[in-house]
Amino acid sequence: MQLDVFEALRLRAHPIEQEGLQHPRGWPLNQGAPTAAAIAFNISVRRFSIGASWTEGGIEMNLVIDELPAAVPAGSGDACTLDDYLTLPDHSMDDRIAKARAKLGATTILLGHHYQRDEVIRFADFTGDSYKLSKIAAETDAKYIVFCGVHFMAESADVLGHEGQQVILPDLHAGCSMADMAEISQVEACWEALERLGLTESLIPLTYMNSTAAIKAFCGERGGLVCTSSNARAAFEWAFARGKRILFLPDQHLGRNTGFAMGIPLAEMAVWDPWAAQGGTIQIGQIQIGPSTGGQTRAALEASRILLWKGHCAVHQRFLPSHVDQVRAKYPNIQVIVHPECRWEVCQKADALGSTERLIKIVEDAPAGSMFAIGTEIHLVNRLARRFAAEGKRIITLDDTGCLCTTMYRISPQHLAWALENLIEGRVVNRIQVRPSVKHWARVALDRMLEVG
């Protein structure tokens, strides 16, 4: 008998074991994962031509699927559609990406953040953290900037770019959960509440790079600036030279770790919770729920030198003090180095902390035979482990359950090939454009960041 693919996979509720059968995304179906249900979820309504059979309850089952069309070739009149690329395995993109890069030449620059997967970052012209890549975006003369990172990075590149440049984000779903924790209407409501309390006159707003262009513009218009983990301390010093108090968003951990390293006690750092309504109303969109004080008393707000927004990085918050204790117990001579987006308690137990660029430098400068447990995103940790193995340096993750930036991981070789091959045909896909009204003040804030260094 013959069954439609979805009916066949519905009947077979465990992994397909047909020898040699290959799923269009590159999974060998004779291995234990993914399950038939997962396969059914990922196969499109188009059908691809392969015949397979098995016995189910004594009945012979046949899986007959019509052929999936190949990706639209470059040079055709129609746009290369992303769906056609996503059905193909990762390794089949390598030659296509390399050829597209060669053909585009100096017109296009490819930037890759350290947390990108290896299959993508290997094609980058420049790799780095958000600060380094922002500087490169501001300096390049390339017509097209293909940013393998997340949405806020591409926005910053568009803000810093020159006239006529276009920024492309290969997957528009590559966002940042931390950036999403500070929505512009929430920040405006916070500022209005602090204004009513008379606390904004000497308040300097600073935003981490991991924020939307609207938040950057908000800070720029009110005398503040943007910072990254590389220059957070310099940004704080800049702000304290101009005001009594800092509003830092959206990452409470980076703000707390930076302030504490400058000698500011925890008692002088209050956390503003945008969802807490205390003693009045809070504004959420068009709905007024009453004057919020962010879950703080007026006295606590007045005593604060740093007002921290209640946000965090989903990757770095996973590291716990117990992870440091466990790795030290297992490896007595190990050095623990972590990103300042980690919790304060973790950073206090670490031997050193720093931005991704700083963490790399620490490993580079260490003598042969050194061992490190690094508290940051797993792709960078694994890449460093391979890179320095020849020097006798051993590098492991601080938490071996795996700390993956899932939003950064969204950009795949298929997305990159799709974006580049469309460019060859003169089509710009997934262009990131910041509105002119937002771009002006966001540029002011970012320029101040670059001036601080």
Evaluate whether residue 453 is within a structural domain.
Answer: no
**Same-domain status, 291 and 324:** no
Sign of the CA dihedral with 228 first, then 231, 233, and 238 last: negative
Is 450 part of any domain? no
- In this prediction, residue 46 carries a pLDDT of 30
Residue 35: per-residue pLDDT? 35
Angle between helices 213-221 and 151-160 (to 10 degrees): 50
Answer yes or no: is pLDDT of 65 > 50.
no
b/e code 116-127 from CB counts within 10 Å (16+ = b): bbebbbebbeeb
What is residue 63's predicted lDDT score, i.e. its pLDDT?
Answer: 38
CA distances for 429 relative to 16, 102, 137, 415, 426, angstroms: 36, 19, 19, 10, 10
Task: Please say if the pLDDT value at position 263 is more than 80.
Answer: yes
Whether residue 77 is found in the same domain as residue 60: no
Neighbours of 265 (CB within 10 A): 9
pLDDT, residue 79, reads 56
Q: What is the pLDDT of residues 289-328, one digit of tens each?
A: 445 689 999 999 999 999 999 999 888 999 999 999 999 9
80 part of a folded domain: yes
Range scoring the smallest mean pLDDT among 44-53, 139-148, 363-372? 44-53
| Cα gap 204→39, rounded to integer Å | 52
Shared domain for 267 and 235, answered yes or no, is yes
Asked if residue 441 belongs to a domain, the reply is no
Average pLDDT over residues 56-66: 40
Residue 234's alpha-carbon distances to 54, 240, 255, 453, in angstroms, are: 66, 10, 12, 7
Average pLDDT across the chain, whole number? 81
Least confidently predicted of 77-81, 157-161, 229-233:
77-81
User: How does residue 34 score in pLDDT terms, banded at 50, 70 and 90?
Assistant: very low
User: Is the confidence at residue 69, as pLDDT, over 60?
Assistant: no
How are beta strands 144-148 and 126-128 bridged, if at all?
A: unpaired
Residue 373 · residue 331 · CB < 8 Å: yes
pLDDT of 355 strictly over 70: yes
* 261 and 361 co-located in one domain: no
Q: What is the pLDDT of residue 227?
A: 94
pLDDT more than 90, % of the chain: 60
Domain boundary among 271, 293, 309: 309
Which range (25-29, 126-130, 422-426) has the least confidence? 25-29
Residues 342, 289, single domain; the answer is no
- pLDDT score for 286: 58
Tell me whether residue 287 is exposed, middle or buried, using C-beta atoms within 10 angstroms of its C-beta: 0 to 12, 13 to 18, 19 or more. Answer: exposed
**Residue 96 placed within a domain:** yes
Task: Answer yes or no: is pLDDT of 282 > 60.
Answer: no
- The percent of residues in the chain predicted with pLDDT above 70, rounded, is 79
**Predicted confidence (pLDDT) at residue 349 exceeds the cutoff of 70:** yes
Longest distance between any two alpha carbons in the chain, whole Å: 80
Q: What is residue 23's predicted lDDT score, i.e. its pLDDT?
A: 33
Res. 59: pLDDT tops 90 = no
| Average pLDDT score over residue span 152-181 | 91
pLDDT at 49: 32
Asked whether residue 452 is assigned to any structural domain, the reply reads no
Same domain, 305 and 186: yes
Which pLDDT belongs to residue 41? Answer: 30
Is it the case that residue 5 has pLDDT exceeding 80? no
pLDDT at 12: 32
- Say if residues 417 and 100 touch (Cβ distance below 8 Å): yes
A 10 A CB-CB count for 142 gives: 21
* C-beta of residue 283 within 8 angstroms of C-beta of residue 185: yes
pLDDT at site 129: 84
Q: Are residues 10 and 94 in the same domain?
A: no
Q: What are φ and ψ of residue 422, in 5° steps? A: -65, -35
| CA distances, 104 to each of 29, 84, 162 (Å) | 37, 22, 19
Cα–Cα dist 127/384, whole Å: 13
Residues 86 and 153 in one domain: yes
124-138, 186-200, 299-313: lowest mean pLDDT where?
124-138
| pLDDT value at residue 281 | 53
pLDDT value at 285 more than 70:
no
Q: Domain for residue 294, yes or no?
A: yes
| Residue 445 lies inside a defined structural domain of this protein | no
The 8-class DSSP code of residue 267 comes to G
Examine the fold and report which residue of 45, 66, 87 is the final residue of a domain before the chain moves on: 66
Res 352 pLDDT > 70: yes
Under DSSP, the state recorded for 266 is: G
**302 and 204 part of one domain:** yes
Domain of 345, CATH number, reads: 3.40.50.10800
Give the total number of structural domains in the chain.
4
Q: Is the pLDDT of residue 68 over 70?
A: no
Query: Are both 165 and 140 inside the same structural domain?
Result: yes
In the predicted model, is pLDDT for residue 9 greater than 90?
Answer: no
pLDDT at 222: 96
Q: Are residues 130 and 161 in the same domain?
A: yes
218, with CB counted inside 10 A (0-12, 13-18, 19+), is: buried
Range of the domain at 295: 179-309
Run of H or E residues at 373 = strand 371-375
Task: State residue 404's pLDDT score.
Answer: 75
Least confident of 89-98, 224-233, 292-301, 430-439: 292-301
Given a contact cutoff of 8 angstroms between Cβ atoms, the answer to whether 355 and 113 are in contact is no
Tell me which of 206 and 295 has the higher pLDDT: 206
Q: Please check whether residues 281 and 365 belong to one and the same domain.
A: no
Residue 269's DSSP bridge partners are: 306
Distance from the Cα of residue 319 to its chain's centroid: 17
Question: Are the C-beta atoms of residues 429 and 418 closer than 8 Å to each other?
Answer: yes
Residue-level pLDDT at 83: 87
